[in-house]
Structure 1
Amino acid sequence: MPSGGRLNIRPATESDLPELLRIMEASISGLQAGFLSPEQIVSSRAVMGLDRQLVADGTYFVVELDGTIAGCGGWSRRATLYGGDHSTGLREPRLLDPETEPARVRAMYTDPAFARRGVGRALLAHCEAVARAEGFSAVELMGTAAGQPLYEAAGYVVIERIEDDRGGAPVPLARMRKAL
């Protein structure tokens, strides 16, 4: 649990979306700044963001710290690995087979005002536990440069490095996996 506050994780709702979009924008702009150039940050918006399918599926969560939304993220039983509603060429809505395929950890964002207070770590552990309870034995995610240290500390390993340039400047990403 983060020090200095009460943490609550709950399913995201449609009414949360305006605040989640604000957090996503603040996270992309603020937390990526130490890892990406200004051009790459602009470019990353083409492949990062809100995926409303996760909210509809009930697998997207809000993290509140002392009653304030501090972050969001989720997991998915669908094949899409990363990207928002607006991301072209990334959508693959078919359901995964938990016997043979890893679940996906998706769209993890922390409000920069709450960075390094355990929000991301708690949310990641929550998503892994729910995926494990649904029969998945592994999870995969596409990690940003800013997110990779958290994921590595949580036991994820890089299985592939890519650059996504659909937004203009190439954005480095790492496909990462963890056995549950």
Structure 2
Amino acid sequence: MSGFSLRRTTSLDMAEIDALLARSFPKLVRDCYPPSVMVTALPLISRAQPWLLDCGTYYAVEHDSRIVGVGGWTVDLQTPDMGHIRHVATDPAQVRQGVGRMLMTHIRREAASAGMRILECWSTRNAVPFYAALGFLELGPIDVPLQPGITFPAIEMRMVLASALARD
């Protein structure tokens, strides 16, 4: 993708990623969730997770020195050959320009190289077609706990990496 670059994030990216998430999630998910979710859960998912920024497997896509997409993966603690997709978001002004695909292609390859056989994703409702187009299979609805008494309705999706790598 011309003009786009991908790099690992650090804690120094916190403010810019917070701003991206604050632009992205409210606009992109508003038609898929009721007002009660928008009021309670959205403020919690629209913030960068400090531990994730320094984990070594979370990435930023930049365009003109500005972060326009983020996402990454981590290893499941109970299933060491399964990775979890983490906090993927694209700037609303950059959707459908390959930012998400660039991130996910890198994530899939890196996770496979690290020995992951499965990637799991807890997708927002609006992102299900995106993940499905990448080869993720929909397993069904889940409630993601955010804080005591606050959950976020998501769709659990999984991908077997061997078949995903064969398509790249």
TM-score w.r.t. the length of structure 1 is 0.79
- Contact 2:71/2:88 (CA < 8 Å) preserved in 1? yes
Deviations 1:138-179 (A, max 9, x none): 100100012111101111011131245767786431110001
Q: Specify the alignment match of 1:175 in structure 2.
A: 156
Figure out how many residues of one structure are paired with residues of the other and give that number.
Answer: 159
SS of the equivalent of 1:174 reads strand
Cα distance in 2 between the residues matched to 1:134 and 1:57: 14
Matched ranges for 1:1-180 at <5 A? 1=1, 5-45=2-42, 48=45, 49-77=47-75, 79=76, 94=77, 96-98=79-81, 102-164=82-144, 171-180=152-161
Q: Answer 1 or 2: which has greater strand percent.
A: 2
SS of the equivalent of 1:129 reads helix
Cα distance in 1 between the residues matched to 2:57 and 2:50: 10
Structure 2: tracts of 5 or more residues without a match: 162-168
TM-score w.r.t. the length of structure 2 is 0.84
Q: Answer 1 or 2: which has greater helix percent.
A: 2
Structure 1: tracts of 5 or more residues without a match: 80-93
Cα distance in 2 between the residues matched to 1:43 and 1:164: 13
RMSD: 2.2
SS of the equivalent of 1:128 reads helix
- Alpha-carbon spacing, 1:153–1:54, altered in 2? closer, same or farther (3 Å): same
Higher RCO (CA-CA < 8 Å; seq separation 6+): 1
